Amino acid sequence: MATATAQPANKTASSDVERRMLRQMLLIRHFEEKAAEAYALGKIGGFCHLYIGQEAVAVGSLAALRDDDYVISSYREHGQALVRGVSPNAVMAELFGKATGCSKGKGGSMHLFDAEKRFMGGHGIVGGHIPLAAGIGFAIRYRGGDQVCLCYFGEAAVNIGAFHEALNMASVYKLPVIFCCENNRYGMGTAFERVAAVTDVVEHACSYDMAAELVDGMDALAVYNATRRAVERARKRGHPTLLEVRTYRYMGHSMSDPLHGVYRTKEEVEEQRKRDPISQLAMKLKEEGTLDQPGLDALDAEIRAEVEEAVRFADASPDPDPAELTTHVLAD
Amino acid sequence: MATLTYRDALNQALREEMQRDPDVFLIGEEVGVYQGAYKVSRGLLEEFGPTRVVDTPIAELGYAGIGVGAAMAGLRPVVEFMTWNFAVLALDQIVNSAAKMLYESGGQIPVPIVFRGPNGAALQLAAQHSQAWESWLAHIPGLKVVAPATPADAKGLLKSAIRDNNPVIVLEGEMLYNLKGDVPEGEHVVPLGRADVKRPGRDVTIVCHSKTVSVALKAAEQLAEHEGVSAEVLDLRSLRPLDEAAILESVARTNRAVVVEEGWPHCGIGAQVVDVIQRDAFDQLDAPVLRVTQADVPMPYNKQLERLAKPSVERVVAAARRTLYLD
Amino acid sequence: MEALSPTMEEGRVVKWHKGDGDAVKTGDTLAEVETDKAVMDLIARADGVLRQVSVAEGQTVPVGKVVAVILGPGETSAAAPASVPSPRPAVAAATGSGERGAVLNVGSGERGAVPSVATPADATRVKASPLARRMAKDAGVDLKLVTGTGPGGRVTKRDLEGRAVATQPAVQREVPLPAPRSPVVGGGGAAYDDVPLTQIRKTIAKRLVTSLGPIPHFFLTTEVDMERAAEARDALNQQRGDQGKISYNDVIIKATALALVKHRACNAWFQDDHIRYWNEVHIGIAVAVEDGLITPVIRNADRKSLVEIGREARELAEKARSRRLQPTEYTGSTFSVSNLGMFEIDQFTAVINPPEAGILAIGSVTQKPVVVGGQLAPGRRMRITMSCDHRVIDGATGAAFLKTLKQMLENPLAMLL
């Protein structure tokens, strides 16, 4: 799945880009649904954090990047990996722990990597990768390049020390990093309001004298445009940006957590479903005449087939050789 | 050959490596303008500029993470901690990011980074500033850990560490920085993972590293002078990987061992050395392997109490004598 | 389950005569047991109440397994061991009242007294460093005979090297000897005395069993004309006056050592897969001690003077008798000599001391009628019998050695050749 390279200056993307975005969102959606099924069947072990509902964030933001930019994310990164171009086969195989997985079966759901696509993981410690993003930005600036580093994290990570230290230094050193906060309101089972003195994440930016923008995360195009602005700031002037992208996850924090009932109501989830980003974009495309229902159905079927193939591929793939237990501990 | 302090040997190593490879940079608190908290980085800012010698806020986790991120993107950072006591804050980046990155990415992303700084006690710095962190770090697969005891080893090991494509921990010492010694000039590289016999002997092997090497050497002198005992002093230099072959070769000759370390006894580096010996040199042993460690207490402030807590020449001599059934 | 026959390994309970809760008296038949030889009675060894009967009629159990318990008056059932770990057969254990000297004198055969409570295994375990163990094994030294000077009596390297590094007195390891007791055979007088084996007896027994049995001995006897040896000896002793007498044995030891130098093939050790031909000659001399025999070693006997040999032999014998011999003083011999001449034994065969390949048995020097130049005359003769390990020494080899030895003794100057 190629990402867009040069962006047109006007605010609305071409219908090509929109169609591509829809396709990518559908891919994420169907992939995650299949992953949920596979998890329930025991083919995926450990933790599995699904992106269902947040598709527009990954799709919109990554559409603004170049192939030579860097992307780094947390443990809820299946969506970003797929959009960045890691094949569904490689991602599903990794979830199944197979040797053909993008991390050779040794990382799993939380540690998807693809060095060639500059997809720098997949990290399991909340907020732990935010300083890594700053470090990547540091390397870009050190070499005098114009790449950017796009870093995804949830709103709960805003409370951890690593966030503060990284953003401070990104601003002090002027690092080309886009800190993209996917605010889905809940840190596992805790509503953000209960644990954050300041609930508008963008407000934090002023502590670091950093540019910031609040974005509707259910609107892929809005995300796209905001990211473009941040990319430009980083590329042209080497300055970081904090984006607060308000989104929602329809599933539980992970496959092991409840959808609702304990910390949020079923009604709330259903209300949010009405704002489903895929439906929104699909509707927009239909209204624009870019896509009709049969076209949409065909696209949907195509994606489902692609995902089914990914499952088949993963099922048929071998486990890593036992000798792989002790490889890659140290580099040569 | 030149006579240098341990500090200047490190400085030389940093300078040479930064001259040799433009991807090498230094980052940490006070490394630039202040010329280094312990003056290890003296003159480097002037020579290499602020892009390559980076002063940081007091944010160990943050700047250690920046180092790791930069390494992921292909640079070769040297991250300085003012002391390893403060690096505890950065352990998430060292242990969860740096050490595991190559493995969890299926071999795709190496992290060629050096974390260095003074380790262990100095004089009367009290509990929070005196801990020896070897065991915590040597425990982690994915890391390499070295502890040079002499200026020559400091230069040689730091150069190797910078050139190594893995995260390497370099444990120095405030009390070592002023130590003088011969240092070969130019390309002096000491391989990681190799111990060094600092004093050959026949009757007992004293295994040690870092500041305990000088304690062991003094003990060996005393044993020779007063007891006619010839002690071999084996400086581990490398804690992960451990030079098991050197340890076993020495004990096979002497049939007895005393392991000295600055850390606490419980689960210390010495415990690992003892395991190697009892497992693979069992039939060569004429006596149980004994350990001399810091007393199992937080380091006290009072001078006398601190001296009691630290491994001393007397305790090493006593242990050696016990392995010889001399007491 | 007792060993009711010398070869019994297990017994089958045919019929219980007493049951759980029955009062029993010493000597009562508890059950009939079928052994490998006959049906025997299992007898009560104490008074009390029979409890914890754990084996049914028709069941077969190994010797040593506890089949029931006799509780003394006022005792409640205690946890009895599943089987009694002593090497001798166990009895229906009487709990609570401490040890009972139990004797198995059932039907056939007589047996020695054993303590009914097993001696702890630790009493016979030797503490030695791994290195010392290895050194002892390589040198063929029995660790049980080595005094350990390490903590808790640990045998260490220096104990096997004999280095005087210790600054504290050597700790004599206590070897617990079970006190000999007289047996009780259902009342009445003692028909015999059972004396448990002392450590030295055990060792001798163990070593002999590894000698005469496995080693293919053959024997060569020769009669030596000791006339000139006797004259030479007497002359020497005259000369020396009260500087100390040379004995026949000293001369024999010296001659033997010199003869071995010329016949290396006899100065050897049999090792499992090779023979060690020694270039040094260390002669073990058999010395009788209070309850046995020990063989201190005169090292490099070929290079020592008669006076030295004599002095050492006396010193070693004295040390042996007062149990003060160090391991280095009684190990490492390459060949042994045993002399029973002082007991007026004409001739005997000695048992080889493994891993050596040969031993000489020296008889007494006696006046006997001999033929000289066709005429009968009195002559002083001595018989030597050499025992050879046929795996190392063949007939001709041994004979050649003996011939050289005989020549040396019959003409002492030949020792200087």
Looking at C17, C263, C282, C390, which residue is catalytic? C390
Nearest to A162 among B62, B70, B105 (CB): B62
Query: What residues contact A45, with CB distance under 8 A and at least 6 apart?
Result: A97, A108
| Mean pLDDT (whole number) for B45-65 | 97
**Strand, coil or helix: A19:** helix
Tell me which of B17, B29, B60, B232 is the catalytic residue: B60
Does any domain span residue A4? no
State the chains in contact with B (3 or more Cβ–Cβ pairs under 8 Å): A, C
Residue C60 has pLDDT above 70, yes or no: yes
Q: Note whether B95 and B54 are same-domain residues.
A: yes
pLDDT the model gives residue C78:
56
C217 is catalytic: no
pLDDT digits (tens, 9 = 90+) for A140-190: 999 999 999 999 999 999 999 999 999 999 999 999 999 999 999 998 888
Q: How far is the alpha carbon of B180 from chain C, nearest alpha carbon, in Å?
A: 39
B218 and B70 in one domain?
Answer: no
Closest residue to B109, CB basis, from A115, A166, A173: A115
Helix axes A15-40, A293-316, angle to 10 degrees: 40
Rg (CA), chain A: 19
Which residues, numbered 349 to 388 in chain C, qualify as contacts with chain B under a Cβ-Cβ cut-off of 8 Å? none
pLDDT at C89: 39
Chain B contact probe: residue of A74, A160, A324, A330 with most B CBs at under 10 A: A330
ipTM score of complex: 0.92
The verdict on C170 touching B (C-beta cutoff 8 Å) is no
Domain of B302: which CATH number? Answer: 3.40.50.920
What are the distances in angstroms from CA A45 to CA A41, A49, A125?
Answer: 10, 12, 18
Enumerate the residues of chain A whose CB falls inside 8 A of the CB of residue B105. 103, 107, 111, 113, 115, 121-122, 328
What tokens appear for B213 in the block? Answer: 């090497």
Asked about B129 being catalytic, the answer comes back as: yes
Regarding whether B127 and B105 lie in a shared domain, the answer is yes
For B279-319, the pLDDT digits (tens) are: 999 989 999 999 999 999 999 999 999 999 999 999 999 99
Domain for residue B174, yes or no? Answer: yes
Domain count, chain B: 2
Cβ pair B112:A331 closer than 8 A:
yes
Same domain, residue pair B134 and B215: no
Q: Do chains C and A touch (3 or more CB pairs under 8 A)?
A: no
Q: What is the pLDDT at residue A243?
A: 98
Average pLDDT of span C293-303: 91
* Residue B12: CATH number of its domain: 3.40.50.970
Q: What is the pLDDT of residues A61-120, one digit of tens each?
A: 999 999 999 999 999 999 999 999 999 999 999 999 999 999 999 999 999 999 999 999
Q: Is the pLDDT of residue B127 over 90?
A: yes
Report the run of H or E that residue A317 belongs to, with start and end: none
Give the range of the structural domain holding residue A83, as residue numbers without chain letter. 15-317
Pick from B62, B105, B142: which is nearest to A329 by CB? B142
Answer CATH for C119-196 from 3.40.50.2000, 3.30.1330.10, 2.60.120.10, 4.10.320.10: 4.10.320.10
Picking from C129, C133, C167, the nearest residue to B326 by CB comes out as: C167
pLDDT digits (tens, 9 = 90+) for B169-215: 999 999 999 999 999 987 999 999 999 999 999 999 999 999 999 99
Residue of A nearest to B165 (CA): A331
Are B29 and B76 found together in one domain?
Answer: yes
- Chain B residue nearest residue C160, CA to CA: B286
Size of interface A-B (CB pairs under 8 A): 147
Tell me whether residue B188 is in a domain.
no
Contacts of A102 in chain B (CB under 8 A): 106
Residues of B in contact with C167 (CB under 8 A): 326
Distance from C-alpha of C163 to C-alpha of C327, rounded to nearest angstrom: 12
Backbone angles phi, psi at A27, to 5 degrees: -60, -50
Q: Does B285 touch chain C (CB under 8 A)?
A: yes
Mutation target among C127, C131, C138, C149 for the B interface, most CBs of B within 10 A: C131
What residues contact residue A113 under an 8 Å CB cut-off, 6+ apart? A102, A103, A107, A119, A120, A121, A122, B104, B105, B106, B108, B109
Cβ of C165 within 8 Å of Cβ of B286? The answer is no
Determine which of A114-128, A229-243, C1-15, C275-289 has the lowest per-residue pLDDT on average.
Answer: C1-15
The whole-angstrom separation of Cα C314 and Cα C134 is 32
| Chain C closest-CA separation from residue B324 CA (Å) | 9
Mark whether B219 and B177 lie in a shared domain.
no
B149 and B282 belong to one structural domain: no
Measure CA A77 to chain center.
Answer: 5
**Which is it for the CA torsion A294, A300, A303, A304, positive or negative?**
negative
Helix (H, G, I), strand (E, B) or coil at C353: coil
Of the candidates B52, B71, B142, which has its C-beta nearest A330's C-beta?
B142
Q: Which of B24, B91, B95, B108 to mutate to test the interface with A (most CBs of A within 10 A)?
A: B108
pLDDT band at C46 (very low <50, low <70, confident <90, very high): confident
- Where do you find CATH 3.30.559.10 in chain C? 206-416
Contact (CB<8Å) B59/A165 = yes
Q: Which residues of A touch B96 (CB under 8 A)?
A: 124-125, 128
pTM confidence score? 0.66
The string of DSSP letters for A167-225 reads HHHHHHHT--EEEEEEE-SEETTEEHHHH-S---GGGGGGGGT-EEEEEETT-HHHHHH
Q: Do residue B325 and residue C130 have CB atoms under 8 angstroms apart?
A: no
Residue B51 touches partner C, C-beta closer than 8 Å: no
Q: What is the mean pLDDT of residues A209-222?
A: 97
Domain ranges in chain C with CATH number 4.10.320.10? 119-196
Contacts of B67 in chain A (CB under 8 A): 135
**Partner C contacted by B283 (CB < 8 A):** yes
Of C130, C150, C158, the CB nearest to B282: C130
Q: Does C123 touch chain B (CB under 8 A)?
A: no
Q: What is the CATH number of the domain that holds A298?
A: 3.40.50.970
Q: Which residue of B has its CA nearest to C130?
A: B283
- Percentage helix, strand, coil, to 5, in chain A? 50, 10, 40
Shortest alpha-carbon distance between residue B20 and chain A (Å): 16
Tell whether B35 lies on the interface with C, counting CB pairs under 8 A: no
Nearest-angstrom CA–CA distance, C58 and C195 = 38
Domain made up of C206-416: CATH architecture: 2-Layer Sandwich (3.30)
Which tokens go with C292?
């046995």
C25 touching chain B per CB within 8 A: no
Within a domain: B189 = no
Report which of B104, B74, B112 is spatially closest to residue A329, judged by C-alpha positions: B104
Question: Residues B82-106: pLDDT tens digits?
Answer: 999 999 999 999 999 999 999 999 9
CB pairs under 8 A between B and C: 31
- Percentage with pLDDT > 70 across chain B: 100
Q: Is residue B190 part of a domain?
A: no
CA distance C135 to chain B (A): 10
At residue B45 the predicted structure's pLDDT band, cuts being 50, 70 and 90, is very high
Please name the helix (run of DSSP H) or strand (run of DSSP E) that holds residue B119, with its range, or none. none
Q: What is the CATH number of domain C1-118?
A: 2.40.50.100
Q: Among partner residues C149, C151, C157, which is closest to B286 by beta-carbon distance? A: C157
Q: Which of A105, A135, A166 sits opposite B70 (nearest CB)?
A: A135
Q: What is the model's pLDDT at position A12?
A: 57
Q: Which residues of B touch A115 (CB under 8 A)?
A: 105, 108-109
The fraction of chain C above a pLDDT of 70, given in percent, is 76
- Is residue A330 one of the residues assigned to a domain? no
Evaluate whether residue B138 is within a structural domain. Answer: yes
- By C-alpha distance, the chain C residue nearest B252 is C131
**Which chain B residues are Cβ-neighbours of C158 within 8 angstroms?**
325
pLDDT of residue C75: 79
Q: Which structural domain, as residue segments, surrounds residue B138?
A: 2-183
A161 interaction partners in chain B (CB closer than 8 Å): 61-62
Residues of A whose CB is below 8 A from B93 = 128, 131-132
Domain count of the fold of chain A: 1
Per-residue pLDDT of A35-51, as tens digits, reads: 999 999 999 999 999 99
Nearest CA of chain C to the CA of B203: how many Å?
12
Give residue B291's Cα distance to chain centre: 18
| B225 pLDDT more than 70 | yes
The answer to whether B267 touches B237, Cβ cutoff 8 Å, is: no
A247-287 residue pLDDT tens: 999 888 888 888 887 889 989 988 999 899 999 999 999 99
Residue type for position A67: D
Q: Lowest mean pLDDT of A263-277, B247-261, C43-57, name the range.
A: C43-57
Tell me which residue in A139, A141, A332 faces B74 most closely, judged by beta carbons.
Answer: A139
Task: Kindly report which listed range (B125-139, C154-168, C348-362) carries the lowest average pLDDT score.
Answer: C154-168
- Whole-number pLDDT of residue B109: 98
Q: Are residues B169 and B204 in the same domain?
A: no
Element (DSSP H or E) covering residue C23: strand C23-24
Asked if B63 and A169 come within 8 Å (Cβ–Cβ), the reply is yes
Q: What is the pLDDT of residues C89-142, one digit of tens each?
A: 333 433 333 333 333 333 333 333 333 333 334 556 788 999 999 888 888 888
Q: Looking at B129, B139, B221, B227, which residue is catalytic? A: B129
